[in-house]
């Protein structure tokens, strides 16, 4: 197997990060699968790597911690003296209405989903700039293009990462660095089980938003029936990072493609009515 390059993937303990790390390693990338807590998922991916004799190493990296990010990247440079692909995947979803979400919870969500990705990018851009090559993949989701009720803060982090990525593509292209956005729809992974609900939203049975929360819960259960496997997202990431001229955006999943196409072809009011019907919000008062 020819060596494709050196890759770093954040949030590799499960889901998209887990599958992407394996997919890259199976296709010739010396892959550093990183995770905040090694005990969360290092054994499974390490066992697979050993059984298949993959060029994959598991190392600790907490995107919320400056030192952790720098230490991990310095280790990779010491080992390989290069870094060709970075996949910013670490993140989680915070549920709850804006009114019922505390500032601490909002800041924590942005710290991981947005500032965590920035922290990694600021550490790797100088390396890629000196190399005159590199690809940075930011996992956003359709939530970075289209919002949903009760997830305003999560949407905010993904919209922010989309906007930042779209801007820095112009800054980095002269240095041979490509920015790639991956926008999956519903994906079957631990993401759904790991959704955090704002404390005030989860602890208040008399919340004025209880009906909204109930309707959204039912809608999510329907969505889970037709999720794609995280390996499908990993395949798209592989195609993007092995392309000489990758697109800026890759939409993954039929559900994602349908809703983005609908948004393009509808007015704000028409699309708003579609979403209200989808989530059964017409009669909420």
Q: 121-152: buried (b, 16+ CB within 10 Å) or exposed (e) per residue? A: bebbbebbeeeeebbbbbbbbbbbbbebbbbb
**Catalytic residue status for 92:** no
Kindly report each contact of residues 142-145 with a partner whose C-beta sits within 8 Å and lies 24 or more positions away, as own/partner.
Answer: 142/183, 142/184, 142/185, 142/251, 142/255, 142/256, 142/259, 142/260, 144/181, 144/183, 145/183, 145/260, 145/263
Question: First vs last Cα of the chain: how many Å apart?
Answer: 60
State the catalytic residue, choosing from 32, 92, 151, 154.
154
In terms of Cβ atoms closer than 10 Å to its own Cβ (0-12, 13-18, 19+), residue 265 is: exposed
Q: Please give the positions annotated as active site.
A: 154
């Amino acid at each position: 197997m020819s060596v494709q390059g050196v890759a770093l993937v954040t949030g590799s303990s499960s889901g998209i990060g887990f599958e992407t790390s394996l997919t890259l390693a199976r296709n010739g990338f010396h892959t550093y699968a990183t995770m905040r807590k090694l005990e969360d998922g290092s054994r499974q991916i390490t066992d697979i790597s050993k059984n298949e004799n993959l060029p994959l190493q598991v190392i600790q990296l907490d995107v919320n911690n400056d030192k952790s990010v720098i230490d991990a990247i310095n280790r990779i440079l010491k080992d390989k003296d290069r870094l060709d692909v970075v996949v910013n995947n670490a993140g989680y979803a915070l549920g709850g209405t804006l009114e019922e979400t505390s500032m601490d919870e909002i800041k924590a969500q942005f710290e991981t989903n947005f500032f965590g990705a920035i922290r990694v990018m600021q550490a790797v851009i100088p390396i890629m700039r000196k190399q005159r090559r590199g690809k940075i993949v930011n996992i956003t989701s359709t939530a970075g293009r289209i919002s949903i009720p009760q997830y305003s803060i999560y949407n905010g982090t993904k919209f922010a990462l989309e906007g930042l990525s779209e801007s820095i593509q112009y800054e980095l292209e002269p240095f041979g660095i490509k920015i790639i956005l991956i926008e999956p729809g519903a994906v079957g992974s631990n993401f759904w089980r790991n959704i955090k609900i704002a404390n005030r939203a989860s602890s208040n049975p008399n919340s004025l938003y209880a009906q909204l929360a109930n309707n959204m819960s039912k809608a999510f259960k329907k969505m889970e029936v037709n999720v794609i496997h995280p390996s499908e997202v990993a395949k798209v990431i592989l195609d993007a990072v092995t392309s000489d001229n990758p697109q800026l955006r890759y939409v993954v999943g039929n559900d994602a493609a349908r809703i983005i196409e609908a948004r393009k072809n509808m007015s704000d009011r028409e699309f708003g009515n579609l979403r209200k019907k989808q989530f059964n919000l017409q009669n909420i008062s």
